[in-house]
Amino acid sequence: MRAQTPVVEGDFMGNLGVPNIAGHEAGRKTYTLFKYNDVMAVLRDADTYTSGFIAAGLGAFMDGLILTGMDGEQHKKMRTLLHPVFMPKVVNTWRGSKMEPIVREEYMKPLAPEGKANLMDFALHFPVRLIYSLIGFPDDEPESIQQYASWALDILAGPQVKPEDAAEAKARALSASESLYKAVRERVAQVRAKGELGGDLISRLIEAEYEGKLLDDHEIATFVRSLLPAAGETTTRTFGTAMTLLLERPELLARVREDRNLVSSLIDEAVRYEPVATFKVRQAARDVEIRGVSIPKGSMVQCIVSSANRDEEVFERADEFDIDRKSKPSFGFGFGPHVCIGQFIAKIELSVAINGVLDYMPGIRFDPDYPAPVIRGAQLRGPDSLHVVWDK
333 binds ligand HEM (CB under 6 A): yes
Determine, following the binding rule CB under 6 A, whether residue 228 of this chain makes contact with ligand HEM.
no
Q: Which is nearer to ligand HEM, 99 or 108 (CB)?
A: 99
Of 56-64, 112-120, 178-186, 329-337, the window that binds ligand HEM (rule: CB under 6 A) is 329-337
Q: How far is the CB of 335 from ligand HEM (least distance, A)?
A: 7
Q: What distance in Å separates the CA atoms of residue 259 and residue 266, rounded to the nearest whole number?
A: 11
What angle separates helix 119-135 from helix 343-360, to the nearest 10 degrees? 130
**Which residue among 243, 276, 364, 375 contacts ligand HEM (CB under 6 A)?**
276
Which one, of 328, 342, 286, 360, lies nearest residue 106 by Cα?
360
Nearest one of 300, 265, 302, 320 to 378, comparing CA atoms: 302
Q: Which stretch binds ligand HEM (CB under 6 A): 11-19, 138-146, 316-324, 332-340?
A: 332-340
Pick the closer one to ligand HEM by CB: 221 or 389: 221
Query: Do residues 249 and 365 make contact, with C-beta atoms less than 8 angstroms apart?
Result: no
Q: Do the beta carbons of residue 67 and residue 338 sit within 8 Å?
A: yes
- Of residues 68-97, those binding ligand HEM (CB under 6 A): 68, 79
Closer Cβ to ligand HEM, 181 or 333, answer by number: 333
Largest CA distance in the chain: 62
Is 354 a binding residue for ligand HEM by CB under 6 A? The answer is: no
Question: Binding to ligand HEM by residue 231, rule CB under 6 A?
Answer: yes
Q: Which amino acid is at 106?
A: E
Instruction: Round to whole Å and give the CA distance between 67 and 205.
Output: 14
- Asked if 67 touches ligand HEM (CB under 6 A), the answer is yes
- Binding ligand HEM (rule: CB under 6 A), the pick from 6, 229, 332, 383 is 332
If the CB atoms of residues 318 and 341 are measured against ligand HEM, the closer one turns out to be 341
Binding mask 110-149 for ligand HEM (x = CB under 6 A): ---------------------x------------------
Q: Return the number of the residue (183 or 389) whose C-beta is nearest ligand HEM.
A: 183
State which residue, 49 or 390, has the beta carbon closest to ligand HEM. 49
Task: Select the span of 190-198, 224-232, 313-321, 355-363 touching ligand HEM (CB under 6 A).
Answer: 224-232
Taking CA atoms, 380 is separated from 18, 180, 237, 281, 336, in Å, by: 10, 24, 8, 14, 21
3-state secondary structure 51-96: CHHHHHHHCCCCCCCCHHHCCHHHHHHHHHHHHHHHCHHHHHHHHH
Distance, in Å, from the CA atom of 201 to the CA atom of 206, rounded to the nearest integer, reads 9
In the chain, the N- to C-terminal Cα span, in Å, equals: 48
Among 182-190, 227-235, 249-257, 360-368, which window interacts with ligand HEM (CB under 6 A)? 227-235
Closest distance between ligand HEM and the C-beta of residue 352, in Å?
Answer: 12
Of residues 159 and 342, the one with the C-beta less far from ligand HEM: 342
Give the helix/strand (H/E) hosting 388: strand 387-389
Task: Check residue 158 for interaction with ligand HEM (CB under 6 A).
Answer: no
- Coil, helix or strand for 308? helix
Residues 6+ apart with CB under 8 A from 311: 2, 34, 35, 36, 37, 318
Summarize as ranges the residues that interact with ligand HEM (CB under 6 A).
51, 67-68, 79, 131, 227, 230-231, 234-235, 238, 276-277, 280, 332-334, 338, 340-342, 345-346
